[in-house]
């Protein structure tokens, strides 16, 4: 005959183990049926169009010029989108198979796999770089004024890329980062 040395059954989970907001004996208020139907009636009324909002036939005939003007204003001018895509001044970009860092006029963007974070220059307290003594690993750490830091490590294809990346990042920091801000 076998004997068990532990408890004969596994005790059930208490409410706090599954829900951190659980307090035994306290339950939340339940909505009454009258309040639920009143809310659904208000939602139905908001969906129905008002007759005052319907355009008149005269407005529809004369409104085409205004609509064309709005469409023309919505279309960006030539060079407007390109100016945002290609910022003036130096740009630093380094990436490997998982990590990526981009520093330009907008700020610093760090990416690792599908996670990313963006820092504007006024949100940055310091930027620190380090390289492995023997390896090809380049580490960039962004420090914020509220004493948080965000490191990212990039594997360089060759050891010579690390010194090249440090000089490019220094040029970007000299151009955009204001230590007195």
Q: How far apart are CA 10 and CA 106, in angstroms?
A: 56
Look at residue 69 and tell me whether its pLDDT is greater than 90. no
Mean pLDDT calculated for residue range 133-160: 91
Q: Nearest-CA neighbor of 15 among 29, 1, 25?
A: 25
pLDDT of residue 16: 54
In a domain, 170, yes or no: yes
In a domain, 164, yes or no: yes
> Among 23-27, 67-71, 155-159, 160-164, whose mean pLDDT is lowest?
67-71
Q: Which two tokens stand for residue 98?
A: 């998982």
Q: Which two tokens stand for residue 153?
A: 């490590």
pLDDT of residue 79: 45
pLDDT band at 88 (very low <50, low <70, confident <90, very high): confident
pLDDT of residue 149: 93
**Count of structural domains, the chain:** 1
In a domain, 101, yes or no: yes
Residues of the domain holding 156: 90-176
Q: What is the CATH classification number for the domain harbouring 110? A: 2.30.29
Q: Nearest-CA neighbor of 141 among 106, 105, 175, 117?
A: 117
Cβ atoms of residues 150 and 141 within 8 Å? yes
From residue 58, how far is each of 62, 64, 154 by CA, in Å?
6, 11, 64
pLDDT of residue 169: 95
In a domain, 55, yes or no: no
Cβ atoms of residues 111 and 135 within 8 Å? no
Cβ atoms of residues 121 and 178 within 8 Å? yes
In a domain, 150, yes or no: yes
pLDDT in tens, 127-146: 999 998 888 899 999 999 99
Number of H helices, E strands in the chain: 5, 7
**Alpha helix stretches (DSSP H) within the chain:** 15-18, 33-47, 57-74, 80-85, 159-176
Taking the complete model, does pTM exceed 0.75, yes or no?
A: no
Backbone angles phi, psi at 38, to 5 degrees: -65, -40
């Amino acid at each position: 005959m076998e004997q068990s040395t532990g408890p004969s059954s596994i005790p059930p989970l208490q409410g706090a183990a599954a829900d951190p907001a659980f307090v035994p004996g306290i339950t939340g208020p339940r909505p009454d049926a009258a309040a639920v139907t009143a809310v659904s009636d208000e939602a139905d009324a908001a969906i129905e169009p008002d007759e005052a909002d319907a355009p008149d036939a005269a407005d529809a005939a004369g409104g085409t010029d205004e609509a064309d003007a709005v469409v023309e204003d919505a279309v960006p001018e030539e060079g407007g989108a390109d100016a945002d895509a290609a910022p003036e001044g130096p740009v630093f970009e380094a990436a490997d198979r998982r990590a990526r860092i981009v520093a330009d006029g907008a700020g610093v963007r760090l990416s690792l796999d599908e996670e990313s974070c963006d820092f504007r220059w006024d949100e940055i307290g310091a930027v620190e770089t380090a390289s492995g003594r023997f390896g090809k690993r380049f580490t960039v750490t962004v420090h914020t004024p509220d004493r948080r830091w965000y490191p990212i490590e990039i594997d360089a294809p060759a050891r010579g890329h690390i010194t090249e990346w440090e000089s490019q990042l220094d040029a970007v920091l000299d151009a955009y980062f204001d230590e007195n801000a």
